[in-house]
Amino acid sequence: MSGIDYLVLFATVLAIPLYGLWRTRGRESLGHYLKGDKTIRWGTIGLSVLATQAGPITFLSMPGQAYESGIGFIQNYFGQPLALLVVCAVFVPIYQKLKVFTAYQYLGKRFDRKTQMLGAFLFLVQRGLAAGITIYAPAIILSAILGWQLNLTIWLAGGFVIIYTVAGGTTIVSLTQRYQMMVILAGMAVAFGVVIYRLWPSISFHHALAVAGQLDKLQAVDFSVDPHKRYTFWSGAIGGFFLALSYFGADQSQVQRYLAGDSLRSSRIGLLFNSVVKIPMQFFILLLGAMIFIFYQFEKPPVFFNRPAYERAVEHGAGPQLNDLATKADQLFEQKRDALRAYAADPSPEKMEPIKELDGRAQALRTETKQVLNQNGADPRSKESDYVFITFILQELPRGVVGLLVAVILCATMSATAAALNALGSTSVVDLYRPLRSSMGDHHYVVAAKLFTAAWGLVAIGVASFANLVENLIEAGNILGSVFYGSILGLFLVAFFVKRVRGSAVFFAALIAQATVFVLFFTTGIGYLWYNAIGCGAVIILAPILQRLLFRAEPREVA
Amino acid sequence: MSERLEKELRDEEPRWSRIYGFVLGFFALEILLLYLFTVRFS
């Protein structure tokens, strides 16, 4: 990165939180610290919800995912618009009516204190770990590619977030997320523009789409019913619906975003904004990855994008073997480029056949290279796809834009982490600490919320510092969420719709459901999105049964 | 806040139902376009 890139990077990353600190100075009530104020409108809520969900992995790993496997990942979002409608119609009015600070407070009001604490505890475990992954994922890639020290990168991404989140609470999180999201969207649009512009002399956009489609990169919808396939219309629409319903309805990091508004209307429009823009946004991010794939059909790509793994294998003595594979890859690349140029000059189906055949051989060669790397020190769980987009940014984008795109990744890290820390601090105070020390003044709880937020920040940095690579980075957060979200969602759905069930029945039903999901997770290989439906379904079925068989005489207790 | 909220919920529900219908229609259109995109380019 050049000097101008560092200037753009640090100016962007620092300016937004500093502005937020200036805007939110001197506001100290608990209500303000946890729920924000009336200056937060639907636009800020919409962008804040979008930024909280997206995170750095979306922008760093997703183009690489499309580069490698196509844009089928888009189907994971098919359940989201429907889930957001349910949240708008059912969850938001209840939260607003009861004036709760956290979603789990509602469980306390509807059931009892132990159920409130169970919901809060499951959230704290899941979100505390996920916050660590959110910091770790971009840090490991940026440090490897840019040569930055890993722990320094983790502290750079996490340390500043702790300071401004502790200082400004919910208002600063929403405010900074608005501007961070604007930077992110602008950066991704510039990257998309550059790749199309760079492709133009070689192939038109339309023909680039045709080639990408023929090479299996553009299958957006797959109606297969195979439960072992990770991305299908059905797993996305059904499993994705439960994941999104749980995430938006019962994950405090999101609930806090849309309760920050001045009215029910602001919360609802902010959420509906997300239900409309999410799928198109993800589509363009994935399409960017597919276009980068086409770009690297005309410009020679690195033999292996995960450069650190490649260098480690060379140090292990695999250099001659890798050089041999690289020579074969170069020859294949040139043959394929010639075939593509012939197709671009005269697009006809018969000219596509040799391209497909050469692409198959190139893929086989990449698999062979990967096996050599795995035998020579590369972590088999580290994904080549995570390094594709950052390599493209550093090698192909003009000076200044590189700094902007690295800022995009750091902004996404900061915005998602800030929302998580804000929610972890709030839940710790409202659902665990305040019930134990209930007679203190407002100022005491604000200080406690700040201390808990800072403590969770240090936990997240600790998790990030000791984390190992967990499969593909893009998946790690979703898998972790899916393991816990089902039972949390089950608690809320029983609370809303099964009136006769009381605290103890739903509490034990949730414990059994969570244990079942753990067993399935460790013993079967079913697609992770299904855990949401299984956990949630188990609570909904078990709670009335337990109520009828074991807790029939239990009186209603209000926390 | 609570009275205002009750009134908002009571008076504006028909309008929100129409908005939800619009969002649902937009979602169906998105899926249809993605399906047509898949058919066209795969």
Instruction: Choose the mutation target among A218, A233, A271 for the interface with B, i.e. most B CBs under 10 Å.
Output: A218
Among chain B residues, the shortest Cα distance to A237 is held by B31
Instruction: Choose the mutation target among A221, A223, A356 for the interface with B, i.e. most B CBs under 10 Å.
Output: A221
Question: How does pLDDT run across A83-104, given as a tens digit for each residue?
Answer: 999 999 999 999 988 888 899 9
- B22/A contact by beta carbon, under 8 A: no
CA contacts within 13 A on the Cβ side of A156: 20
CA contacts within 13 A on the Cβ side of A245: 28
pLDDT given at position A559: 46
pLDDT given at position A366: 86
CB-nearest partner of B34 from A93, A220, A265: A220
Give residue ranges of A with CB < 8 Å to any B CB. 74, 78, 81-82, 85, 88-89, 93, 96-97, 99, 209-210, 212-213, 216, 218-221, 263-265, 268, 272, 275-276, 279-280, 283
**Do B38 and A218 lie within an 8 Å CB cutoff?**
yes
CB-nearest partner of A85 from B23, B31, B41: B23
CB-nearest partner of A218 from B8, B24, B42: B42
Q: What percent of chain B has pLDDT over 90?
A: 52
Q: Closest Cα partner for A343 from A209, A197, A192, A194?
A: A209
Among chain B residues, the shortest Cα distance to A209 is held by B41
Cα(A135)–Cα(A123) distance, integer angstroms: 18
Among chain A residues, the shortest Cα distance to B9 is held by A93
Contacts of A52 (CB under 8 A, 6+ apart): A177, A253, A254, A257, A415, A416, A419, A420
> CB–CB of B38/A218 below 8 Å?
yes
Q: Which residues of chain A lie closer than 8 angstroms to B35, CB-CB?
A: 220-221
Q: Which residues of chain A lie closer than 8 angstroms to B20, CB-CB?
A: 85, 88-89
> CB–CB of A209/A301 below 8 Å?
no
pLDDT given at position B1: 53
- Angle between helix A42-69 and helix A473-497 axes, rounded to 10 deg: 130
pLDDT given at position A248: 94
- B14/A contact by beta carbon, under 8 A: no
CB-nearest partner of B24 from A85, A93, A265: A85
ipTM: 0.89
**Do B16 and A89 lie within an 8 Å CB cutoff?**
yes
**Do A221 and B16 lie within an 8 Å CB cutoff?**
no
Q: Chain A closest CA to B24's CA: distance in Å? A: 7
- B11/A contact by beta carbon, under 8 A: no
Contacts of A446 (CB under 8 A, 6+ apart): A28, A29, A30, A33
Among chain A residues, the shortest Cα distance to B4 is held by A263
Low-confidence ranges of chain A (pLDDT < 50): 471, 558-559
pLDDT given at position A273: 95
Instruction: Choose the mutation target among B7, B22, B23, B35 for the interface with A, i.e. most A CBs under 10 Å.
Output: B23
**CB neighbourhood size of A38 (10 A):** 10
User: Residue A107 is encoded by which pair of tokens?
Assistant: 């469980």
Question: How does pLDDT run across A338-360, given as a tens digit for each residue?
Answer: 888 888 888 787 888 888 888 88
Cα(A96)–Cα(A84) distance, integer angstroms: 16
pLDDT given at position A453: 94
Among chain A residues, the shortest Cα distance to B42 is held by A213
> CB–CB of A456/A424 below 8 Å?
yes
**Do A221 and B41 lie within an 8 Å CB cutoff?**
no
**Do A82 and B27 lie within an 8 Å CB cutoff?**
yes
pLDDT given at position A28: 67
| Count of pairs with CB atoms under 8 A, one residue in A, one in B | 63
Cα(A381)–Cα(A474) distance, integer angstroms: 12
Dihedral pair phi/psi, residue A552, rounded to 5°: -60, -35
Q: Which residues of chain B lie closer than 8 angstroms to A264, CB-CB?
A: 5, 8-9
What pTM does this model have?
0.88
Cα(A258)–Cα(A35) distance, integer angstroms: 9
Q: Which residues of chain B lie closer than 8 angstroms to A275, CB-CB?
A: 23, 27
Contacts of A274 (CB under 8 A, 6+ apart): A46, A49, A50, A53, A80, A84
Q: Which residues of chain A lie closer than 8 angstroms to B16, CB-CB?
A: 88-89, 268
